[in-house]
Structure 1
Amino acid sequence: MSLLPQEDEEKDRLFVVALARGLRVLAAFQPGESALSNQVLAQRTGLPKSTVSRLTYTLTKLGYLSQDAETGYYRLGLAVLALGSAVLGSYDIRRIAAPLMREFALKNTISISLGMRDGTDIVYLETCRSQARVSVQLTVGSRVPLASTAIGRACYAALNNSERSQLDGELAARYGKDWPALQERLEQARQQYLQRGYSESFGEFERDVMAVGVALPSPAPGMPALCLNASGPAFAFSPELMRGQIAQALMQLGRQLVPGH
């Protein structure tokens, strides 16, 4: 979830600090986690534990969190699920993409995902896993860093100069002293994308995962640009195979989803 840095909150008169902090608590939950304590939520959000306690109490009353009666820990509530379903349902391209993505995954024995940028991350809107015994274990709602993933690099390469400059500032704030090296790698990936039409990340995000990505233009006015990636285990997919068969098939799928791009 993209939120203003805490030090900027009080500088914006229209910014509702309490709302932002509540959303920060919800964003602290990660896929696969069962329940979190107020102490863990305070550590993840950087908020005082007393503030977190008030926020979790309020969010529980509203149905966005539920509390375990035995441990007192919190998990995301059904109200969050309802919001998530509404968000996903607003992207019609998912209904178009899903059957084509399943066909792609089966034909190429590889996992494929459709994502959208949220700040310095990519959020998965749809995924189809390979039927192979070993596949990449990411699901709808998973977040991955833009800077080190093929899907993120494809998104980065498709931004215009103004958008890219703004994102560079966000990435610099996130990565600090590591940003110059990451920026150089992102620029290399952007140039590669302009030349070849796809991006790649071979063992950079996860050591044993090979991935290629392509960007899609906005399929409708006011809708953000989307991106696709195909990823599989390194023991089954060599760089040559990814750059040849998989990347070419992924670019073809992109043209099917958004003709004319």
Structure 2
Amino acid sequence: MQQDRQFVTALARGLEMLAAFRPGDGALSNQELARRTGLPKSTVSRLSYTLTQLGYLQSEGDGGPYRLGLALLALGSTALAGYDARAAAAPKMLEFALRNNVSISLALRDGSDMVYLETCRSQARVSVQLTTGSRVPLATTAIGRAYFAGLPQHERDALRPLLAQRYGADWPQLETRLEQAAADYAARSYTESFGEYEPDVMAVGVHLPSLLPGQPAMALNASGPAFAFDAAAMRDAIAPALLSLRQQIVPNCL
């Protein structure tokens, strides 16, 4: 990228700073931001000052620590509004979560991760706590595997180098699991991740094809705590219900 004359390095570094914040973070110091981004602390200090002046960060004192600023809310709301599938699916997702006592999420791919566009939870006291904007890995989650499995073969093949780069020495084993997930999906139209991403989370997922021209494919998952849902319950009750929900959202989906 550095040899690309069209690539603005300063802008990229500023975006790296914003991307360094994770769900659940409090305020972060320049030192912590430098550690997470790998940027020099002097660069981080200049970027945090600039981003604060523009409203993308908020400083809790002179020179930090910093929280994400309100200017990002406007960007996030605008981005979410661009996905019509989210608005169409949300009411049905909430009804599904309440009826089946699970959490349900809609996500699309960003790099080697899946990013949640919408999440609905049941009223159960204990539920999966991921929210809109959360990122989860593609290779080890039901929602990521469903996204992958539902893609045409050439698109799956195009993703492999990216996943191989992310997972390094672990990739051959994960690739085998993804291929098995794709084979299972072809046979039963859903994927599973039982305790692989989080030891106490059971999840099944389905692929959602692009609903409108120009919009990306997505995926849905339903998840619940392992103490409440064993593998049989997920396969016999939740997976068929999730397939039915997909049919409601995308009537012509096979």
- Provide TM-score, normalisation by structure 2: 0.96
Structure 1 counterpart of 2:227, from 229, 232, 235? 235
Q: Which residue of 1 aligns with 2:90?
A: 98
Q: What's the secondary structure of 2:55's corresponding residue? A: coil
1:215 aligns with 2:207: yes
Q: Which residue of 2 aligns with 1:144?
A: 136
Within 2, Cα distance between the matches of 1:40 and 1:246?
A: 41
Matches within 5 A, 1:144-223: 144-223=136-215
Within 2, Cα distance between the matches of 1:166 and 1:195?
A: 23
For the structure 1 residues 34 and 112, does the alpha-carbon distance in structure 2 shift closer, same or farther, using more than 3 Å as the test? Answer: same
Q: Which residue of 2 aligns with 1:3?
A: none
1:186, distance to aligned residue in structure 2 (A): 0.8
1:12, distance to aligned residue in structure 2 (A): 2.5
Q: Which amino acid aligns with 1:117?
A: R
Matches within 5 A, 1:21-40: 21-40=13-32
Q: What's the secondary structure of 2:52's corresponding residue? A: helix
Q: What's the secondary structure of 2:15's corresponding residue? A: helix
1:39, distance to aligned residue in structure 2 (A): 1.1
Within 2, Cα distance between the matches of 1:25 and 1:85?
A: 20
Structure 1 counterpart of 2:7, from 7, 12, 15? 15
Q: Which residue of 2 aligns with 1:248?
A: 240
Within 2, Cα distance between the matches of 1:160 and 1:51?
A: 43
1:120 aligns with 2:112: yes
1:153, distance to aligned residue in structure 2 (A): 0.3
1:27, distance to aligned residue in structure 2 (A): 0.5
1:11, distance to aligned residue in structure 2 (A): 3.1
Q: Deviations over 1:175-215 (max 9, x none)?
A: 11111111111111111111110000000000011000001
1:71, distance to aligned residue in structure 2 (A): 7.2
Within 2, Cα distance between the matches of 1:12 and 1:199?
A: 40
1:158, distance to aligned residue in structure 2 (A): 1.6
Q: Which amino acid aligns with 2:204?
A: V
Within 1, Cα distance between the matches of 2:62 and 2:221?
A: 42
Gaps of 5+ in 2: none
1:96, distance to aligned residue in structure 2 (A): 1.6
How many residues align structurally?
253
Gaps of 5+ in 1: 1-8
Name whichever of 46-55 and 110-119 sits farther off: 46-55
Q: Deviations over 1:103-145 (max 9, x none)?
A: 1011111111111111111111111112112100111111111
Q: What's the secondary structure of 1:210's corresponding residue? A: strand
Q: Which amino acid aligns with 1:119?
A: G
Within 2, Cα distance between the matches of 1:178 and 1:13?
A: 35
Q: Which amino acid aligns with 1:56?
A: S
Within 2, Cα distance between the matches of 1:72 and 1:184?
A: 45
Q: What's the secondary structure of 2:205's corresponding residue? A: strand
1:41 aligns with 2:49: no
- Provide TM-score, normalisation by structure 1: 0.94
Q: What's the secondary structure of 2:127's corresponding residue? A: coil
Within 2, Cα distance between the matches of 1:221 and 1:15?
A: 29
Q: What's the secondary structure of 1:201's corresponding residue? A: strand
For the structure 1 residues 83 and 168, does the alpha-carbon distance in structure 2 shift closer, same or farther, using more than 3 Å as the test? Answer: same
Q: Which amino acid aligns with 2:202?
A: M
